[in-house]
A and B are shown apart, each in its own frame.
Chain A
Amino acid sequence: LKHYNDETAVVFFEVEILDAKTKDKLCFLDKVRPALHSGTFYPQWYPARQSIRLDPKGKSLKDEDVLQHLPVGTTATFYFRDLGAQISWVTVFLTEYAGPLLIYLMFYFRVPFIYAPKYDFTTSKHWVVHLACMCHSFHYVKRLLETLFVHRFSHGTMPLRNIFKNCTYYWGFAAWMAYYINHPLYTPPIYGEQQVKMALIIFLFCQIGNFSIHIALRNLRPPGSKTRKIPYPTKNPFTWIFLLVSCPNYTYELGSWLGFTLMTQCLPVAFFTLVGFIQMTVWAKGKHRSYLKEFRDYPPLRSPILPFIL
């Protein structure tokens, strides 16, 4: 149905919105202007939790999509899905990173009720324990600052239940590792100073590397935009790894935790490193796949996370 406005000959659309699961007709709008943004339909659910899509099982339309440019006729049918309660990525990151920072310090300072009472508020006699605390704290402070000042997020929000899942993971592992590293019966690394120095070098190298990648990725994207581009090596040598790897931020993260494992010689830390590595590999493979799908000219030499291996 076309309605013509005498003055400007604008073509109006009719829009009907169906529930993606039940296919009930939720609302019908006629005389919709072509420039209507898809992110504005339901006042009772805030926009972040609305998912509007062209196909019930398909991907969500983006907020910026304009009706006129979508592959619909003049009568458009959209499907609505309630994504559930949402929470912003920034909030989740800040919470999940602040936890380990504080929890580890509680164990480091041997706050009461963790170890035997005679150890309350004492400090370890091993210098590697002090070093480990500095490294662990530095790592999470870095993450918090990056969340506030460096990262540019594609999505504003994620499902609310993620914060419980993520915090359990980060806070739980932090407590488990910190308990042993700061324990009165902690055993320092077998190869002593050599081992700790080597581990510290690896750790710092990978922290700088990880930070360099985050900066490089941020610079790919102008402020406020959500564009995606292929990352390339820059003048910073730490970014040259882009030649071989799609997600070097994960590569460097793995390296940091391997360094920390070597430094503390603590099995729970090794376990945390392993679990993190598995998760990051899954993410890296997904990201690599979407790069390949989106860009025809994507460099073929790159692997998702480990050069030539994985």
Chain B
Amino acid sequence: MASGEEDGAVEEKETNNKKKRTKSAIAIAWLTVYNIAMTAGWLVLAVAMIRFYLQKGTHRGLYRSIARTLKFFQTFALLEVGHCAIGIVRTSVIVTGVQVCSRIFMVWFIASSIRQVQNQESVILFLVVWTVTEITRYSFYTFNLLNHLPYFIKWARYNMFIVMYPLGVIGELMTIYAALPYVRRSGMYSLRLPNTYNVSFDYYYFLIIVMLSYIPLFPQLYFHMLRQRRRVLHGEVIVEKDE
């Protein structure tokens, strides 16, 4: 009788453990597929950009040619906010949210909607930065999930941002700045008085506020990454916190 009870108890425990492991296994499987897909997507973008430049010899028209693919993969990244929200990725929802939203803002509300800035060099700058960063980041996650992380990927992920991050910010800020005169002239995305709901919105001033907000936000994110880097590359055994 006693042993029977014991067996029952052990069995129950095993089923529970299996349930726990199965749930994580699904999450891991999904995340692996997701990260492989995103790595592939950004690789496709990189190849398309290089091919365009080699064939045409200029960056003019490059943005237009990759715009749809870029919109797709960058918007798809919204899922990462969901991953944090349900807990299968251990990063703050807010940090991920801010980063993804700023990318989506650049793609949909600046580059894609203001044609006149699409041929600016600053656009190419941030596109290159984003592509390099994302390929490194997503392949890092992929290899991590497969428990086979080559050191050079880890090195790239925690060192390249030191240069990439400021370059990306410069590209983004220059692009927004270049867009200002067109926004002002066209009055796009703006709402004037009088109207039924007694509210107004000026996209021009909104963009200026966005540019100013880089001043407090950028250092915070940058130093956060520097701290991460120090912890990870100093050889401490830490549960990887994805950015």
Contact = CB atoms under 8 A, between A and B. Distances in A.
Interface in B155-214: 193-200
A267 B197 contact: yes
Interface SS, B side = loop
Contacts of B199: 180, 266-268
A264 B199 CA distance: 11
A183 interface: yes
A186 B197 CA distance: 9
Helix, strand, loop or mixed for chain A's interface? Answer: loop
Interface in A175-231: 180-181, 183, 185-187, 190
Nearest to B195: A187
A233 to B, nearest CB: 38
Nearest to B194: A185
B145 to A, nearest CB: 35
Interface residues of A, number: 12
A187 B200 contact: no
Interface in A155-181: 180-181
Contacts of A180: 193, 198-200
A38 interface: no
Contacts of B200: 180
A266 B196 CA distance: 8
B200 to A, nearest CB: 7
B51 to A, nearest CB: 47
A186 to B, nearest CB: 6
B194 A186 contact: yes
A137 interface: no
Interface in B80-107: none
Interface of A: 180-181, 183, 185-187, 190, 264-268
24 contacts: A180-B193, A180-B198, A180-B200, A181-B198, A183-B193, A183-B198, A185-B194, A186-B193, A186-B194, A186-B198, A187-B194, A187-B195, A187-B198, A190-B196, A264-B198, A265-B196, A265-B197, A265-B198, A266-B197, A266-B199, A267-B197, A267-B198, A268-B198, A268-B199
For the complex of A and B, list the 6 residue pairs with the smallest distance between their C-beta atoms, beginning with the closest: A267-B199, A185-B194, A185-B193, A266-B198, A267-B197, A180-B198
